[in-house]
Amino acid sequence: MRCVSSTSASSGSLLRGGGSSRRRLATAAQRAALIYQHEAQGADKAITNAIDTHVQAQQTRRADDQDGPADVLVPAG
């Protein structure tokens, strides 16, 4: 953002309408932050779902392993 505001300053736009340029920069920064937060929330949800799926698979695998392998015969009695 500093680069954009210094470019505006060098062109003289801040001298003519300084307040509006700063407001536009602030509004653009706020909008960019909201877009980033929204995208990050979507990514967080995808990561959480993937972790949940992995944990559930591990829990199922462990539960199956406690009973012993399915293809081994164990003497009864």
Q: State pLDDT tens for residues 11-69.
A: 555 455 567 888 888 888 899 998 998 889 888 999 999 999 999 999 888 877 766 66
Indicate the pTM of the whole model: 0.42
Residue 40 within any structural domain of the chain: yes
Q: How many domains does the chain have?
A: 1
Residue 77 within any structural domain of the chain: no
pLDDT at residue 1 is higher than 50: no
Residue 50 within any structural domain of the chain: yes
Domain range for residue 55?
Answer: 18-63
DSSP letters spanning 13-77 = HHHHHHHHHHHHHHHHHHHHHHHHHHHHHHHHHHHHHHHHHHHHHHHHHHHHHHT--TT------
